[in-house]
Amino acid sequence: MAPGEAAAAAAAAAGRGARKRLRAAFSAFVKAREVPAGAAGAVWWRCCRQTFRERGGIHRHVGTQHGAELHGVGTGTGTGTGTGPGTGEAQRGAAGPGGGTELSEELPDTRHLGPAELQSRVGEVLLYYCYCEVRDPEKLCAWQRALCEHLHLTGKVRVASEGINGTVGGSKVATSLYVEVMLSQPLFKDILCQDDFKRSAGGAHCFPDLRVGVFKEIVPMGIDPEKVSYKETGIHLSPQEFHREVEQYLSQASQGQSDTILLDCRNFYESKIGHFQGCLAPDIRKFSYFPSYVDENLELFKNKRVLMYCTGGIRCERGSAYLRSKAVCKEVYQLKGGIHKYLEEFPDGFYRGKLFVFDDRFSICSNEDVISACRYCGTLWDQYKLCSSHHCRQLVLTCPSCRNKGLTACCPVCQEKELEVTSRASGQTLKEECECTKRRPRVPVERISRGTLDAGEV
């Protein structure tokens, strides 16, 4: 055999060996994350605080999130398969994600960028969260504020010992740099990934300012994270898996055979302009009422499979953990990435109407359906404005025709107050309760029959 042929043969053999080692490492990595089969005999996998019930799901996750460390094993440059202490998930489990990592306070170099690139109005809004152990929330808060100001980003960032939750807007150059820095931050290594950032058209103008603060919870449910932890969350379903579940639920419900509840855990004004078909949408004003809602309606959830969803996934993390803590459901599932990620893959799927967002846009659109109506005339309308009564400032759906008639408040009480305020000395306040607030129970008790629920007609 000629020297060149021998070298080629050796290289081919080495390549086959590397691929074989990579396949073995991949299989071992997946096997190490297998959850023992329960009474039903189902096998699950747990990795990066996510639960996968389909082999394809865990394979995709390992390939995209752990490919680099596995490739090192395949090429002989790695230190192990990630199945034992010292590498990958096992190491993160020992120290706790971010628990043994110091915060890097570095800011990106922007000297090569001009003001037009960093401050362009044509940009996007990022929505993300990351549950991890933060040793020094104040330090993380200060770094986040400095980072956002450095990149001319506006928005809201909540920091706590349990992680970070943010929605920020800016130019595409600025938001791309922000994501790059967040992914390189040692505190979030192997927890955050590109797919965790939900993007939508917008910019810095979508927020009035920048607000960064330290809180007890990164999403305000009102329950101590030590009592109900995100670590006890429901099973995460990818948008594809969730779509199949909803499809099956609607099919079975139409025949009165469903044992499933499709639960919207957002606020009433969010689900009012957009929701999944056949969902149960609680008439609650804020997420901190959700635990009380569950407590008051426990009978509703007994022996049910619950499919939960919210805007970006963060409320489901704690909400599903709270529901699971009641030990009444067959199982609790949640939509990974929330409605935001679902609409990226199924813009014309089972979610109809607009997606409410907590910034000056109020909503983003993926389909042309309008499922809500004007407060005054009943015309189909789904574009929110703030109530014109300054003591109230609730959201109101009032169409252009009614607005032109001066109907700009959320209810007759506020409309009357607005007229009174204009005729009084400035600064004088009116204490009468808004009709919208007065008529809405703080925690509604659902009056839904089993037949209605099973038929998916909620």
**pLDDT, position 2:** 63
The total number of residues written for the chain in this structure: 458
pLDDT digits (tens, 9 = 90+) for 128-177: 999 999 999 999 999 999 999 999 999 999 999 999 999 999 999 999 99
Rounded to the nearest integer, the mean pLDDT of the chain is 84
Over residues 36-65, mean pLDDT: 69
Which of 36-40, 114-118, 307-311 is least confident? 36-40
CA distance linking residue 437 with residue 458, whole number of Å? 23
More confident residue, 428 or 297: 297
Work out the pLDDT band at 453, boundaries 50, 70, 90: low
Q: What is the mean pLDDT of residues 287-302?
A: 96
Nearest to 316 by CA among 344, 338, 295: 338
Handedness of CA 52, 50, 65, 67 (dihedral sign): negative
| pLDDT the model gives residue 223 | 94
- Name the residue among 262, 234, 237 with its Cα closest to residue 322: 234
351-399 per-position pLDDT tens digit: 999 999 999 999 998 888 999 999 999 999 999 999 988 777 789 999 9
Q: Is the pLDDT of residue 37 over 60?
A: no
> 308 and 219 in contact (C-beta within 8 Å)?
no
Q: Domains in the chain and their CATH numbers? A: 20-84 (no CATH), 116-214 (3.30.70.100), 230-362+442-454 (3.40.250.10)
Of residues 84 and 348, which shows the higher confidence score? 348
pLDDT, tens only, 64-96: 667 766 766 555 554 444 443 233 332 333 333
User: How does residue 42 score in pLDDT terms, banded at 50, 70 and 90?
Assistant: low
- Residue 202 near residue 361 (C-beta atoms within 8 A): yes
Distances (CA, A) of 417 to 86, 342, 412, 431, 439: 65, 42, 8, 10, 17
Of 377, 400, 374, 387, which Cα lies nearest the Cα of 435? 387
Which of the residues are catalytic? 310
Q: Give tens-digit pLDDT for 228-266.
A: 998 899 999 999 999 999 999 999 988 887 899 999 999
Give the β-pairing of 260-264 and 198-202: unpaired
Dihedral sign computed on CA atoms, order 28, 33, 38, 44: negative
pLDDT of residue 46: 75
Average pLDDT for 191-196? 93
Which is more confident, 289 or 86?
A: 289
SS3 90: helix
The alpha carbons of the chain give a radius of gyration, in whole angstroms, of 25
pLDDT value at position 253? 86
Tell me the pTM.
0.76
- Position 22 scores a pLDDT of 73
* Beta carbons of 271 and 226 less than 8 angstroms apart: no
Q: Which two tokens stand for residue 254?
A: 């139409």
Quick one: pLDDT at residue 458?
Answer: 55
**Residue 158 half-sphere exposure toward CB, CA atoms < 13 A:** 15
- Band of pLDDT at residue 11, cut at 50, 70 and 90: low
Q: Which of 16-20, 165-169, 185-189, 363-367 has the lowest mean pLDDT?
A: 16-20
> pLDDT tens digits for 318-342?
999 999 999 999 999 999 999 999 9
